[in-house]
A and B are shown apart, each in its own frame.
Chain A
Amino acid sequence: MQQDLEVERLSKRYDAHVAVDALSFAVARGSFFSILGPSGCGKTTLLRLIAGFVAPDDGDVRIGGASMRGVAPNRRPASMVFQQLALFPMMSVGDNVGYGLARRGVARQEIRTRVSRMLARVGLPGAEGRRIDALSGGQKQRVAIARSLVLEPTLLLLDEPLGALDLKLREHMKIELKQLQAEIGTTFVYITHDQSEALVLSDRVAVMKAGRFEQVGTPQELYYRPRTPFVAGFVGANNRLAGRAARIDGTAVEVAAAGGLAIRAQASGKVAAGDAVEAYVRPEAIALARDAHALPAAAQRLAGHVASLLFDGANSAVLVREERSGAEIRIALPQTGLLADLAVGAPVAFGFDAERAVCFRVADDDR
């Protein structure tokens, strides 16, 4: 498959701080690639390295197969949508969108046609004459994307462009952005700290931490088969149980957690008996019932009391305190209505399939 972006052993350090640490990855043509990480993980530096605003200490970036070494940002076939959008307030919407075309020496009539076609495509037909400060947040968003896309770049770089929007609009723009990308087929590289944005939008996601990729994969892979404790904890909600590997049987591990809690989980990577481990189990992977008989047969069974109810519509959950260890475990509330009248303090039974819990050996530098 054709790769639109290839990054090879790219490095950038600021004094003692390593922002990007010998990263290599490739993004396939026409795909939506997200880089997900907490603030300070180096994702913005990585994007600026690709755009050419920052010079790498080492390594190379290839866009559309051509090396970008020594190529200035204004000569790279990559357009960027900035975090604060950076629309030019001194120009009309039409001039903003046409700015890049005019710099390329495209004829005025041609610019007008292409700008109006692009504006129509992002749902703002006829907005050429409007002022930037007369637009709403979502409209500015669309103009910023149109301004970059009208140049038909090989690569569109997006630096948390939805960060400045309020929640409702963000949800809406997420869907719009995904549809737009599918329609035009440009390769998108999107950086965000919002795991929901990354999961919803992307074909592939890279989870970044301290200048390195922890894991690169489809949203489903990251969610269901995290390869490191960081990915398990960062992507989606998760219950973390620290303990020691008591017994190993193939990939199945019996974890002895604090307070005498014993659970079974699947090992990810190498785990030996006696290792310090962390087990992760997702709230929705845990079955909840009023008594143990109602739980699925395969589940390991535990008991506890409801510590608090976290009502959030479809995302409602309960915090259950496990009987023996006192560990607090978040369990998704089934939407069937059977447990709708659950009250704080009520005794409950819960359990999960060992296949759906994952367990990692804790490396010394992770803690």
Chain B
Amino acid sequence: MMTADAPAVLAAPRGRLALWLLLAPALTWLVGLIVLPHVDLALLSLRARVAPRVYEWSFQQYRTFLEEPLYWRTFVRTATMAILATACTLAIAFPVAWHIAKVARGRSKSVLFILCLVPFWVSETVRTLGWMILLRESGVLPRLLADLGFTAAPVELLYHDATILVGLVYTSLLFMVVPLVNALESLDDALIEAAYNLGGGTVSILRDIVLPHAAPGIAAGSIVVFMLTLGNYLTPTLLGGKNSLWFTEQIYAQFITRFNWEQGAAFGFLLLALSTAIVWAGLRLTGQRLGDVMRRP
């Protein structure tokens, strides 16, 4: 009896140890790189400097945010632009994904997919600088417009809100196309034919059949694109210049330029709260659940 039980008794703690060892990398990542820094940032954001090297608990940082119009206007502007960029990305990616998933066959399908991927072989910095070469006053596109007589002289196409949007959409396109292609590929063509046979037109088929089926894919793509856009620093800074007024720039300025870590930490938390709130609202509006969306991207 005793000998028969022994392996089980031994195995239990050993099994638990193996489990912990297997979880260790994930836990290290989660606790060490996400939870701990955020706890520290949270504490940082909740204190104010009253004298050199003297700090006390305070909501001062958050109050500054509300009292200073530049800060909260930048905040609202960033959120609006990010939502706009997500919507534009969706509008451009949907026909592309539809073509890849439903129209293209065999070789042309993979070629199209690779074409979407190609820009990502180049680093984001180089890609954005590429846009600058195209769009600056002495660049390719303004020169072309002037030569063709559309404008009297080359115009500056950089440093506009539209330029930022173009850059953000370009950077995000693949992250929208991939989940959309997956979602649309799983749509049975017979459903579209059946709707067509029952008298459905293009609008009805898109609204009643295709969009409801693709909704989790649309939501997954939109969440990823929105978060990437909201947290993007490089593209708005380079393409929007000093006027870009992107919230990540404010965070950067507080931490690096102003050396005001307390304020920067508070901004960081506000951005986190913003993205959480908007994603939650978006899922709520479209009647979806995060778990479902992430299960089938």
Known A-B contacts: A82-B194, A148-B198. Give 6 more (CB < 8 A): A53-B196, A74-B200, A82-B190, A86-B194, A103-B201, A104-B199
Max count, chain A CB within 10 A of own CB: residue among B190, B199, B204, B209? B199
Tell me how many residues of B have a C-beta within 8 Å of chain A: 17
Q: Which of A75-102 contact B (CB under 8 A)?
A: 75, 78-80, 82-84, 86-91, 99-100
Contact with B along A309-346 (1 / 0, CB 8 A): 00000000000000000000000000000000000000
Chain A: residues with CB nearer than 8 A to chain B? 51, 53, 72-75, 78-80, 82-84, 86-91, 99-100, 103-104, 147-148, 151
The reply to whether B195 and A88 form a contact with Cβ atoms under 8 Å apart is yes
B147 contacts partner chain A, Cβ-Cβ < 8 Å:
no
The reply to whether A99 and B196 form a contact with Cβ atoms under 8 Å apart is no
Q: Which residues of B contact A87 (CB under 8 A)?
A: 194
The reply to whether B198 and A74 form a contact with Cβ atoms under 8 Å apart is yes
The 8 lowest CB-CB distance pairs between A and B, nearest first, are A100-B198, A86-B194, A86-B190, A90-B212, A103-B199, A80-B197, A74-B199, A100-B199
Which residue from chain A places its CB closest to the CB of B209 in the assembled complex? A88
Docked complex Cα distance between A91 and B208 (Å): 9
B193 contacts partner chain A, Cβ-Cβ < 8 Å:
yes
Asked whether A74 and B208 contact (CB < 8 A) given A84-B188, A86-B188, A86-B190, the answer is: no
**Closest Cβ of chain B: how far from A106's Cβ, in Å?**
11
The reply to whether A79 and B188 form a contact with Cβ atoms under 8 Å apart is no
**Closest Cβ of chain B: how far from A47's Cβ, in Å?**
11
Asked whether A73 and B196 contact (CB < 8 A) given A86-B191, A88-B191, A103-B201, the answer is: yes
The reply to whether B201 and A74 form a contact with Cβ atoms under 8 Å apart is yes
Q: Which residues of A contact B208 (CB under 8 A)?
A: 88, 90-91, 99
Docked complex Cα distance between A73 and B196 (Å): 6
B38 contacts partner chain A, Cβ-Cβ < 8 Å:
no
B160 contacts partner chain A, Cβ-Cβ < 8 Å:
no
B47 contacts partner chain A, Cβ-Cβ < 8 Å:
no
The reply to whether B198 and A103 form a contact with Cβ atoms under 8 Å apart is yes
Max count, chain A CB within 10 A of own CB: residue among B198, B204, B209? B198
The reply to whether A151 and B199 form a contact with Cβ atoms under 8 Å apart is yes
**Closest Cβ of chain A: how far from B192's Cβ, in Å?**
9
The reply to whether A80 and B204 form a contact with Cβ atoms under 8 Å apart is no
The reply to whether B197 and A79 form a contact with Cβ atoms under 8 Å apart is yes
8 Å CB contact of B200 from A90, A91, A103: A103
The reply to whether B190 and A90 form a contact with Cβ atoms under 8 Å apart is no
8 Å CB contact of A103 from B188, B204, B212, B213: B204
**Closest Cβ of chain A: how far from B88's Cβ, in Å?**
26
Docked complex Cα distance between A99 and B194 (Å): 10
The reply to whether A99 and B195 form a contact with Cβ atoms under 8 Å apart is yes
Docked complex Cα distance between A103 and B196 (Å): 10
8 Å CB contact of B198 from A72, A83, A90, A99: A99
